[in-house]
Amino acid sequence: MQYKQVTIRYNSLINKRKRGHFVDIERVLNEMTAAEKAALVSGTDFMYTNPIPRLGIPSLCMSDGPHGLRKQKGSGDNGISESEPATAFPTAATTASSWNPRNAFALGAAIADECRHYGVHTLLGPGVNIKRNPLCGRNFEYFSEDPLLAGVMGAAEVEGVQSRGVGVSVKHFALNNSENYRFMGNSVAGENTIRNLYLKPFEYIVKHARPATIMCAYNRINGVFCSENKWLLTDVLRKEWGFEGVVMSDWGAVKDRVAGLKAGMDLEMPGDTAVCRRWILDALADGSLPMADLDLACRNILRWVDEYVRPADKTPVDWDGHHELAARIAADSAVLLKNDGVLPLTGREKLHMAGELYENVRYQGAGSSMIHPTKVTGPADAFRARGVESVSLDESDTILIFAGLTDMYESEGCDRADMQLPRDQLDLIDRLCDTGKKVVVILFGGSPVELPFADKASAILNMYLPGQNGGTAVIRLLYGEANPSGRLAETWPLRYEDVPGHETFGKGIDEVYAEGMEVGYRYYNAHNVPVRYPFGHGLSYTSFTHSEWVREGDAYTQTVANTGDRFGGEVCLLFLDGELRGFEKVYLQPGESRTVAVTPEPIDDRVWPDTYEIPAPRPSFPVTLESRFTDLRQSFMGRILFNAVLSVADKQAKAAEKLPDGPEKDNKKKGAFFLRRILESNSPRSMSMTAGKSMPYNFAQGFVELTNGHLLKGARCFMTKIDIPKLPKEEN
């Protein structure tokens, strides 16, 4: 299979490369003081590891990904709109629909070149969590509802990045499948479901691609936070799978730092939390934290720093080449959902362009992965470059409607309220379909939506989130210069009520995975539930025939032939016992045929218990350090604190509105929206662990006490300073 060849190529590179710059990591470790070790296992300045100048240990720079580089300017977190120009590639939801790991490899390698240009040593991505529910606000950043497809595409991106000498952080480990309660949520699931579905993409990537780091998620699994879950981080990840890299926390995901070290969580991010270093030093002093546990984390971090820290590569990046690569991947990933023959366009049509996303295309997700693009070519730009202008509705014979989910409907930090397109868009589509003209709907967005107009429209082309050159991809596809060859990496239900677990998803802290393994196509197939478009669906401008799969030893073979009159790509899918076990994408000229051989991934025949305990409901008041920040509004003092914190996002939104129309205004508005959602869904503890010096842990404790009416206790918390040694970088 093609993705196996990619793995072999990368492994040959890693084995040949000279590893390391330090003469003796063990000697350096032995010379470190306890305070230096406590600093090393904590980040600093939001995106860096702590340097130890006395011993010549440099700082390692990280940056958000995973579909492009978000290298922030200056130090600290200065907002998602203040970053260096970089290429906004198609998101994982898009790339997965190409079913071509070579796309993910090329994307990863290009991002790594940009990382090296800006002096970034490790990219935070890819995200490979299973798409359990179509409303998850971060689904645009994940690959698939199927663990094999997610694992293969994720591994290819990892290999692409690391082939250029840049590390990755595969995230979010694990069961991070919703956003509303992600900072304190509890994913309740049986072990068989956890192992055979939700951990599978991570296992595949660890075993095939050797990622530099793994990022553990915010949430709990059956009551235990991922950042201190020894079963997850040590027993499974390290002992069973053989992972040898660094485990870092998501930003603000630490609860008990000492418990995290004992569980195998090496690096706390973003760091600069005095209380965590205090806890470590106190635990060393009283013997509750063995020095060996701290040394193990330091050793992992030193190896990582040793492997990946290097000076910025000032060789100019081929920005135009990356812009074109983004268009090619987007075109190969687009899914033609419906076509009654109106596509491809001939060039003789009189076109009327409609929809808000024609001029203001949505090409990337909203949240921490939002990229400052080097340039943007949207549909309007691409059509104008060809001299094609929209004519009036009366004069037209074909209508192109550009519709989809805007950033206000789909964003990291919150789950969608429903699976519908905005009402004004649905009304526009209905009105234009009723004209009797040919209507082509071009969709943008990171997740499935209900399509009540599917029977009325002449064609539906789904671009997902195609990156900064999506307009070029759109026009090539519409005019047949590129043949749609994407296939859905997730099921599109007829309506949200058909989704398993729709009644309870995202509605509370305890997220019960009652459907077990029956996620996506497994559920719809098992229960004969009709869907709008099934997993693997996608049309083409040409036609293909497939022979039956034939088993030959350990492999299965199938012959696929292009029986149409256009060059095109087709995906061969091998299902065994109702599960995807292998695939390969082939590209064929008219009349060409090819026999593909697919060797199924080995499966673990072990079956674990799938039982779980549903926790008793928790009272929302009095609030605790783990309460959702919106719960503070239950008391007078809590409302004052809540409004004071949320005013930061409100000020950003007001400042954005004063800017002239353009990309900067749009990005700042998105940033303010994202910040508000993050603040609302945060917990006092996680907010403190993210904010570092600007909101120390004793402030979070004070917030809780004041909200609960304990004014004196709250005041005492605010006045209690956390004493801690200077950071090593401050000593010099």
Residues tagged active-site: 250
Cis before 448? omega within 30: no
Q: What is the DSSP letter of 44?
A: E
CA angle 409, 410, 411 (to 5 degrees): 125
Residue with tokens 């000498």: 165
The residues, any chain, with a CB within 8 Å of residue 470's CB and separated by 6 or more, are: 90, 326, 327, 330, 361, 363, 377, 378, 379, 444, 463
Q: Which tokens hold the place of 646?
A: 């949320």
Q: Which of 666, 141, 147, 146 is nearest to 447 (CA)?
A: 141
DSSP labels for 159-173? HHHHTTT-EEEEEEE
* Of 701, 693, 699, 703, nearest in space to 726 by CA: 693
Quote the tokens at residue 503: 């009644």
Nearest C-alpha neighbor of 365 from the set 707, 695, 670 = 670
Number of other residues whose CB lies within 10 A of the CB of residue 402 = 26
- 8 A C-beta contact, residue 111 and residue 122: no
Q: Are 222 and 257 contacting, i.e. CB atoms less than 8 angstroms apart?
A: no
Strand partners, 414: 411
Residue 200 near residue 147 (C-beta atoms within 8 A): yes
Are 219 and 187 within 8 A, CB to CB?
Answer: yes
DSSP SS3 for 530: coil
Bond preceding residue 484 cis, omega within 30 of 0: no
Phi, psi of 580 (to 5 degrees): -70, 125
Residue 63: CA count within 13 A, CB half-sphere: 29
Structure tokens belonging to residue 525: 């197939």
